[in-house]
Amino acid sequence: MQAEEDLNEIETAPLLAPTRLLLVRHGESIANVEGRMQGLGNDPLSPQGRAQSQRLAAWLGAQKAEIAALFASPLQRARETASLLAERLGLEVQPYPGLEEIGLGDLEESSVEVLTAALRAGNITLTHRAEDPKDFVVRVVASISEIVNLHRGQTVVVVTHLGTICMALAYWQGQDISRAWELHGDNLRNTAISELVFGEEVVLIRHNYAPHLD
């Protein structure tokens, strides 16, 4: 109940003009290559992940969009991705801990199969010391709302994680957050963009958009 009460207290201030939020999944990490669950793990980018990030940086730079700010999860794979974007865009990376991936407790470093079995078995918060998904969505929504409120009427890039993006999209589309990964996680490519526009309503413009990879 506390998590639900916390969500009800989070408000996005009325906007003078729509705010364009580009949620970017980090580049491919070493753990992605090896099929390990990361959570709060701190693996670096793979060579392919660096190349993906550089291609995204070049694509964003070519769009001539006036990007006001660049935020990132402080976890290494997101921070490295954002740093490569920052070099091209002439911005500083602003680390934001609330953008981190969901903590998976002792399931971090496990395989997808192990995590899936644990999820089917029951409450991983109790059995594996994972972060409560309700607390996770409160953290994500509060963090993104604060960023939007700081940059009303501007374009902002946020480099973060698969789970964080899925939870944000589910919340702002009024969907069941317990199905966030099922609804939005399939085939979300590394460095793909999910664009939300915050105006009178919050509108999902595109998801898994990666012209720089095609």
Structure tokens at 97: 């801990």
DSSP string, 102-127: PP-GGGTT-BHHHHHHHHHHS-HHHH
Domains in the chain: boundaries: 2-104+132-209
Are 30 and 17 in contact by the 8 Å Cβ rule? The answer is: no
Residues in the chain: 214
User: Which phi-psi region, left, alpha or beta, contains residue 25 (left: φ > 0; alpha: ψ -120 to 50)?
Assistant: beta
Write the CA distances from 158 to 22, 99, 182, 206, integer angstroms. 6, 9, 22, 15
Amino acid found at 200? E
Look at the domain 2-104+132-209 and name its fold: Rossmann fold (3.40.50)
List the chain pLDDT tens, one digit each, 214 residues.
Answer: 566 667 766 655 554 689 999 999 999 999 999 999 999 999 999 999 999 999 999 999 999 789 999 999 999 999 999 999 999 999 999 999 999 999 999 989 988 888 878 878 878 888 899 999 899 999 999 999 999 999 999 999 999 999 999 999 999 999 998 889 889 988 899 999 999 999 999 999 999 999 999 8
**What is the model's pTM?**
0.91
Which residue reads 């865009």 in tokens? 89
Q: How big is the chain by its Cα radius of gyration, in Å?
A: 17
pLDDT tens-digit readout, 122-165: 788 888 999 998 999 999 999 999 999 999 999 999 999 999 99
